[in-house]
A and B are shown apart, each in its own frame.
Chain A
Amino acid sequence: MTRVKFGTSAAVLAFLAAASPAFAASDVCKGSDINILMETVPDTEALQAIKGDFEKQFGAKVNIEAVNYSLMHEKLVPSLTAPTSSYDVLVVDSYWVGEFKTAGWIKDLDAWIARDKIDTSLYFPALMALNGTVQGKTYMLPFWQYAMGILYRKDIVEDPAFQAAYKEQFKRDWRIPTTLEEFAEVVKWSGKQKDMYGIAMAAQRADPVVMEATNYLFAEGGDFYDRKTWKPTMDTPEATKAVTIYADLINNAAQPGALGANFDDVANTLKQGKAIFAISYLFLFPTLEDPKDSTVVGKMAFAPVPGKDSFLGAWGWAVPTNAKNPDCSWEFLKWVESKDVAYKRALAGGQPTQMWIYEDADFIKKWPAMSQVGAALEHSRGLPIMSRSTQLVETFAEVMGSVLANNVPPATALADSQDKFGRLVKGDPLLK
């Protein structure tokens, strides 16, 4: 009798122990608030539409505050320095990662990942490297990618008359340019040929010009630093050529006012049917394909940046170290990146980061341009993960400003900037 009683008790205890994670998950969030600061993008709208599912399942309230991107960093930093954060889940842009990690503002997720057996191999390796792991530890789950490449008018370049003129000019059959130099030639010629702007560009300081010009830098095989020794490499022939080509296109092929233009202006120039090419974001496609917004519906296509690599940016979900209820924050991360929820967000126009979604026929049917993401990510890289990435962007913006606005020769501007770039990496604990 005693043995039976003992056996029954043991079985009950074993059952309760096995079931306890499920009970703990809903318990840990009950009555909590999950406050998130997000950018005004389709993923945010998609999340607003489905957050009720999380609220029902976990008994928590999800409050999403959507603001313009340029205001996010200002809002986040005071919150992260306070004893408890105003935000329970963070979305971290790729060039804040170093700053946030060095400042100790984001939690290491590895223990949770191991406990809950989260499969991070679902994500593109390039995105895990950019907005996932830092120095071998996982601090984020990739949320949103902003791959860049050539957006172009396929109706123009596929027109037989255009291709015949192209063959006469360049003595070869039409092809998407394979080098940056060829791209610049084709852009300038196409603009004159069609009496349009060859390219729509965004040279506004600081974020727009840096995001765009970094594509040119990486395409030429240049980089800000040697990523092993962290010596600045902006005075190389590759960097000089990239900046020279950029300046040439601004002066000879871009739309008027390109010096002060941002991505919105690039999108509008394309949507108004004024430009043939742009090097910009894949995420512009939904707006380019919106008949309420665009005169070029069905006429745009995407191709990888010509040359070596393109620029890649991304956002990642993170848990702030001063979160009120970090366990609940983690439950939200798991839920929002679960296959089901990630897929819903993708169908709503988001920029998914899990590889399997790009192989889904329904997703590609709804968003055909997304079929190019794999190709774009294969040859792409982000800004270096360093504590002073924001200052890196400012410094490169200064260089571009002096070349474009003050007509300083690119080689001079880049050589003069070497010291500044060098100072940015001094003593950085992330670069050891």
Chain B
Amino acid sequence: MVGESRWVQWASHLILGSASAMVLLPLLWVLRTSFADKVVAYQMPPDLFFAPTLDNYRDVLLRFDFGSFFLNSLIVALLTTAIALLLGALAAYAIDRFRTGGAVMPLAILATQMMPPIVLVIPFFLIFKRLGLADTHAALVITYLTFNLPYVVWLLVSFFKRVPRELDEAALIDGAGPFTVFWRIVLPAALPGIGAAAVLSFVLCWNEFLFALMLTGQQTKTLPVAISSLVTQQGTAIGAVCASTMLAIAPMVLIYFAIRKLLVAGLSLGAVKG
């Protein structure tokens, strides 16, 4: 039995290690290439040991106007996430606690996501152009809300379900109104869910490319669109692409480490004790 257990452990580690390697190796390769000059970057067979250079990071930060594109992405992602959480939490609370819209409401919200996004690109473009919102952050925020809000609502409905209604009732008995119950009882109890929804919304906005391409211009260009312009007909500035990529994923990594305890705590949110 002890031997079997060790064998199982080894096998588990091997499988998990291989899966991790499959995910991490491409990222590590990008990290490696971000420190390589152009000759080394394209060398075949590749040179694993070489003199690293910071030229790519220097080019990206100083010549490429990376700061503006980063700021655009950050503004759009943060605004969208904040509005999505506010509206999504209120909607989720109403749907879960008061059955607003009946049984069909959750499905109706999700039904909006059945359409391929590309169908909406030109209509959105023409509408925002007519409203004078083309090449503005507002256009992207409004667009991303239409995609993110349904997912945020669905996620928060499932987290609010786990918050015992008895807590609401206790607060109501003590004289709290519905909004106070929502704000002071349900929301804090569903904090892991809020964290998860925030991360989901932020990542969706941060990585979105199609609508960012069509709705932004030089002033409001976001990181995915900007990085794509490093791929040119005369060659891909692969070092700069890799350096930009590493800088672009840095916020995601920071967010993950900041809220991972919150996310893990949410997994153990239990049922009401009898």
Contacts and interface: CB of A to CB of B under 8 A. Distances in A.
Interface in B72-125: 121-122, 125
Interface in B188-225: 213-214, 217-219, 221, 225
Contacts of B43: 272
Chain B interface extent, by class: 20 to 34
A82 B125 contact: yes
Label chain A's interface by main secondary structure: mixed
A36 to B, nearest CB: 10
Interface in A39-79: 39-42, 63-69, 71, 74-75, 78-79
Contact of B125 (A35, A67, A78, A284): A78
Interface in A275-334: 283-284, 286-287, 292-295
B42 A272 contact: yes
B181 interface: no
Interface stretch (B9-17, B146-154, B156-164, B229-237): B229-237
A82 B125 CA distance: 9
Nearest to A65: B218
B38 A71 contact: no
A267 B129 contact: no
Contact of B235 (A81, A83, A86, A268): A268
Given A64-B218, A78-B122, A263 B42 contact: no
A274 interface: yes
Given A68-B228, A78-B121, A264-B236, A295 B39 contact: yes
Contacts of B228: 67-68, 71
B232 A82 contact: no
A84 B134 CA distance: 12
B42 A271 contact: yes
A83 B135 CA distance: 16
A78 B126 contact: yes
B223 to A, nearest CB: 14
A68 B125 contact: no
Of the listed residues A75, A263, A283, A287, the one surrounded by the most CB atoms of chain B closer than 10 A to its CB is A75
Contact of A83 (B38, B44, B130): B130
Interface in A74-104: 74-75, 78-79, 81-84, 86
B134 A292 contact: no
Contact of A78 (B44, B214, B221, B230): B214
Nearest to B135: A86
A74 B214 CA distance: 8
Contact of B38 (A39, A286, A292): A292
B109 to A, nearest CB: 28
Contact of A41 (B121, B213, B234): B234
B231 A82 contact: no
Interface residues of A, number: 37
A287 B121 CA distance: 36
B116 to A, nearest CB: 15
A268 B42 contact: yes
B234 A42 contact: yes
Given A69-B233, A71-B228, A272 B218 contact: no
Given A35-B217, A82-B125, A264-B236, A68 B38 contact: no
Contact of B225 (A39, A67, A295): A67
Contacts of B44: 272, 274
Contacts of B168: none
Interface string A136-155: 00000000000000000000
Of the listed residues A66, A74, A78, the one surrounded by the most CB atoms of chain B closer than 10 A to its CB is A78
Nearest to A87: B217
Nearest to B217: A65
A81 B233 CA distance: 27
Interface string B5-43: 000000000000000000000000000000001110011
A35 B37 CA distance: 34
Given A78-B125, A263-B234, A268-B235, 14 more contacts: A39-B232, A42-B234, A63-B219, A65-B217, A68-B229, A82-B126, A86-B217, A272-B43, A272-B44, A274-B44, A284-B234, A287-B235, A292-B39, A295-B39
24 contacts: A39-B233, A40-B229, A40-B233, A63-B217, A64-B218, A65-B221, A67-B225, A68-B229, A68-B232, A69-B232, A69-B233, A71-B213, A79-B125, A83-B129, A83-B130, A264-B231, A268-B42, A271-B39, A272-B42, A272-B43, A274-B44, A284-B234, A293-B235, A294-B39
**Shortest Cβ-Cβ A-B pairs, 8 listed:** A40-B232, A65-B218, A293-B38, A78-B125, A268-B42, A82-B129, A68-B231, A78-B122
